[in-house]
A and B are shown apart, each in its own frame.
Chain A
Amino acid sequence: MADTKAFVDVTDRRVLDKLVPVGSPHYVQMQALVIDIISLVPDNKIDLLCSISCAAATNFQCIDCTEIILQVVGKGKTEEWAVTYMLIAFYQAYGAVDNGSDAWQFMSGYLKIMFMIAARQDKHFAKIDKLGVRIRMALRPADPQRDILNELIRIHDQCDNLSSCLSSIRKYEISVKQEEATGKAANQYLASKVGQIRLAYEVVINNKAFIGKTYDKSAKRLKKAQSVVNTTTVIDGEPLQKKLFSTKQSRKSTNVATAENIADDNTPPLLDNNFKPIKQIAKSSELQQWKLKSSYQHASRNQFHFPTNHRQLSITGYQMLFSVLWHHFLSDNTEYQTGYAVLLLSLLSGISIDSVITDWQCNRSQRQYFVYDRTRKVSNIAITIDVTTNTRSHLLAHRQSYGSVFKRALPEVLQIMLEDKVAVSLDDVKLAINEVKNQLNLPALSAQYIESGLFVVIKNGLSKPLHADILTGVDVRHSSPLYYTSIKTADLEQTYIKAVALLSAYCDDEKKASLIDECSVSMNGHKSHVGSDMVLETSTCQQFFEQLAMSAESYNERLNHSIERYIAQFNSYSVWLWHTIMIQTGIRPVKHAPGLLNQLDFKRRLLWVSDKEERHGQSDGRLIPLSQFLAAAIQNYIDYIKQFAAIYNPICPETPYPLDAILQSEQSLIQIYQKNPKGFIGITPSRVRYELQDFFSHQDNWLRHQLRTMLTGRVPDYLICALYGHEHPDQEFMHPMSSSFINQLHQLNPHLDAIAKDLHLKQIEVRLYG
């Protein structure tokens, strides 16, 4: 008997050593504490043999919590010492261990789960760190995961054993998931986190085995494709390595997602050319001409879709095509039906025929485009816009977009077809195309014409290029505006219904009415906006600017006889102006933005900027209209800096403010004072980030997202693209062959001023005296 006791002692001791390793800070006390807490709530369902005497009452008061946390983080042992870290953080938040407190009773159960997982001696052990992280993060101020912790404490309080806790946690997870999926609550990624905790409980209570994750190749490839670094081409038997740097700036100085920068700066690699020039030509001007020519061809083939493009049908052509297809689909025998269905699906979704077929051949749950909705029991078209995800927890609740998936309804007949996975042969599709080709007498009709159908209808028929890109699932890398726009789902739904109405114009009235009716079912629940994850709600943005303005104005009449406050005032005014320029011009937050004083023309109200890497043979910046608000703000700032120099420079001649250089456009207009090394330097995004520090943090170019979103729908899209420099090669607003004129840019001005008004921007009055 005594032997088994000893054996149990040994195993318990080993588990404890795993949870709180020997050598971790205060491990004796921590181990005692773990036992203390576990034995707080007796649970006979789970036979935890806690035989180690806990006579050594934990004297916890003498331990310095902050010091331990610093030690854990400083040594980089947050994983190994996860339990210590978690308990200390919990102790800081909830005070001494107390039998009556709900929080500690919860912790008792939670630790029990951790203990059991550690006792299993398998790969589940990694969950201990995960569980610790969940609690630690929940304890951070204003973290959305706080809700999880509160709910867990509540659940543990109400349930009398861990197995009933598990079922409550499951219910909680389902409700959170549902809310996030329908857009009832802002998606703060809580469901997956509750899922982690639920899984840990399941492992212990249901004794689940460990199943490793298998990564599929496609995800890996996608990641690789986004960071182009090296390409090797064999030219005349000689390998030539070409290095492509994704952006001009290093990762250190910018926090803008790489994909976003690439989409802006680099043209997508040409996909359809295997041209290998010989050595002599490779370095000649001929090659450059070839590059120009092929990029033009690429663009004209893939991007333009002008009404005159002969690789597409006219609107009437598509209307006739659709009515014939629809007629055949409804009346034909089942043999050909799948072929017609594929063509119709491609016309309604704008997705290529190949993708339609591959998707259809998958199980309902694995589909990418024709997604099955379990709660509504319908299939719908889901377009995912591949935007940069925002994982800053403090911002999650304030984002405008509810994810980046837009769903729309399909006609019921097609939904029924999509119920099961079907082996679709390409021959059926070809036969169907041939059939309509002959019937409509369109000898050139091919799959390509059908695939571009929806795009042409929306772009040329409804003239909504941005909606066309979104609804047909154009890759964001081919359409940068998609990165920046958070768009109303209602608008997209309207456009889709209009497109369906336009497409089905040649069907008979009954069919047309039912088609429109079936396609106009809203599938997006409460999701009011989809798209860019960086855009914040207008009210949050208003508050942000209000705080900046208050900060700059707070120094008025409070300047004392130390120069420090003058400098602080100067910095906060500069930061305010920088942000105001960003929201009013949408320029990229590059170093020294917006540049020199001579780039501003107050008379014509124009700003010349060059904020991206120059592409070969093309472009030296672009013109941006200055709104009345911004022009006034900059002029006020110039008045201010003259006064500031008259006070600052006589006092601190060792680090002078370069007023003359600024006014003569030798140094950037907005400067900022830094402490190390002391002195004024041109403003950079990282300086701004430093100034805002604890106040706010976001991706540097978030105001670019914000402005793009606020402009969308107010102004014609081509003007926004001109403002942002999001134009296809040779289609630039300022291209020599362009029919637009500079003054057209000024159409943007009233809208920019309206946005300033919407955001409650006001001219601030920063006074140096009086």
Chain B
Amino acid sequence: MKNKTLRSTQKMLVLSSENLTIHPDANTAFMVWQQHRLPLRRPQLAGLDDYYRPVLRLCVLDKDNYQFFNNFARIDEVMRFENSWRQPCLIALESRHDIKRLAWCEVLNLSRFAGVNHPALFQAIYQSAPKQLVCELMGVHRLTVSNYCQFAGISRSSYEYQQCKVACDETLLGLPKNMNWMGSVHG
């Protein structure tokens, strides 16, 4: 059977939010990453020659649609600001385990940024990540707070300090479901 997708190739592609989707195996990691990412601007690469842009790893979905699974920050930039430029891409072979690993790597990398909410990030990893895989990536046996702190390079006390600052999530989301707000002035 002749299957082109089994060969890894290099291509120059124009990518935008219309032809790029997240690989299903990286979906959870992507959502966690989105939730905890920081609004940092990265160096602008717009002026670079096509061939010097960082290479993106993608999978082929069908003819013109591609799936990404790592390098989330760069992909985000591409979709928002560079959706008319060609990007050098490496169309990779599909290995679900490796895709998961790379995707969760992205999430773990977030812990290196100052300003990230460590308790929330740890919670999210603890709840949604495949434990064994994360442990393997972090090089620990069990996923615990102290192990995480060690991995992130912060002290346990600063982790707990952040934990205390977390505001409660009880306030209303969206519009109130009644008209009482209207009478509040007139009584």
Contacts and interface: CB of A to CB of B under 8 A. Distances in A.
A541 to B, nearest CB: 10
A398 B182 contact: yes
Contact of B180 (A142, A559, A565, A643): A142
Interface string A511-550: 0000000000000000000000000000110011001100
A228 B20 CA distance: 54
A543 B173 contact: no
A694 B171 CA distance: 18
Contacts of B79: 645-646, 649-650
B178 A561 contact: no
B68 to A, nearest CB: 7
Given A645-B17, A769-B39, A770-B39, A547 B180 contact: no
B38 A770 contact: yes
B178 A141 contact: yes
Given A142-B183, A398-B182, A696-B179, A561 B17 contact: no
Given A547-B175, A561-B35, A694-B177, A650 B16 contact: no
B4 interface: no
Contact of A695 (B30, B169, B175): B175
A54 interface: no
A642 interface: yes
Interface stretch (A212-220, A610-618, A653-661): A653-661
Interface string A749-770: 0000000000000000001111
Contacts of B182: 142, 394, 398, 540, 543-544, 696
B176 interface: yes
B78 to A, nearest CB: 9
Contacts of A768: 34
Given A543-B184, A561-B31, A770-B39, A660 B174 contact: no
B128 interface: yes
Nearest to B67: A650
A767 B37 CA distance: 12
A558 B171 CA distance: 10
A170 to B, nearest CB: 28
Nearest to B178: A694
Interface stretch (B21-29, B46-54, B91-99, B144-152): B21-29
Interface residues of B, number: 42
Contacts of B185: 539-540, 543
B76 interface: yes
A472 interface: no
Interface in B1-49: 16-18, 20-22, 27-28, 30-32, 34-39
A230 B21 CA distance: 55
Contacts of B186: 397-398
Interface in B89-128: 124, 128
Contacts of B183: 142, 397
Interface string A685-699: 000000111111000
A568 interface: yes
Contacts of B63: none
Interface string A279-317: 000000000000000000000000000000000000000
Contacts of B68: 650
Contact of B17 (A555, A559, A646): A646
Nearest to A653: B21
Contact of A560 (B35, B176, B180): B35
A769 B173 contact: no
- Give the one of B17, B31, B38, B124 with max A CB within 10 A: B17
A543 B180 CA distance: 11
Nearest to A660: B18
A273 to B, nearest CB: 50
A440 interface: no
A398 B183 CA distance: 9
Interface residues of A, number: 47
B171 A554 contact: yes
A650 B18 contact: no
A647 interface: yes
B34 A769 contact: yes
Interface string B154-187: 0000000000000001011111111111111110
A692 B21 CA distance: 32
Contact of A651 (B27, B37, B38, B180): B27
B34 A647 contact: yes
A551 interface: yes
Contacts of B39: 767, 769-770
Contacts of A572: 174-175
B20 A650 contact: yes
A561 B175 contact: no
B35 A650 contact: no
Given A769-B34, A769-B35, A769-B39, A651 B22 contact: yes
Nearest to B72: A650
A155 B135 CA distance: 75
Nearest to A547: B181
Nearest to A658: B18
A209 B171 CA distance: 59
Contact of B30 (A642, A650, A656): A650
Nearest to A659: B17
A767 B17 CA distance: 19
A544 B176 CA distance: 11
Nearest to A651: B22
Contacts of A770: 37-39
A675 to B, nearest CB: 15
Contact of B179 (A394, A642, A646): A394
Given A141-B178, A572-B175, A695-B175, A649 B21 contact: yes
A645 B7 CA distance: 31
Contacts of B18: 649, 656, 659-660
Contacts of A547: 175-176, 181
A322 B5 CA distance: 96
A695 B35 contact: no
B180 A551 contact: no
Contacts of B20: 649-650
A555 B175 CA distance: 11
23 contacts: A142-B179, A142-B182, A397-B183, A398-B182, A543-B181, A544-B182, A551-B174, A554-B172, A554-B173, A554-B174, A558-B169, A561-B32, A565-B173, A646-B79, A647-B76, A649-B21, A650-B22, A650-B68, A651-B27, A660-B16, A694-B179, A695-B181, A769-B36
Given A650-B30, A660-B18, 11 more contacts: A141-B178, A142-B179, A539-B185, A551-B175, A561-B28, A561-B34, A650-B20, A650-B79, A651-B21, A653-B21, A769-B34
Interface of B: 16-18, 20-22, 27-28, 30-32, 34-39, 65, 68, 75-76, 79-80, 124, 128, 169, 171-186
Please list the 6 inter-chain residue pairs (A to B) with the smallest Cβ-Cβ separation, ordered nearest first: A770-B39, A561-B31, A649-B17, A646-B79, A650-B22, A695-B175
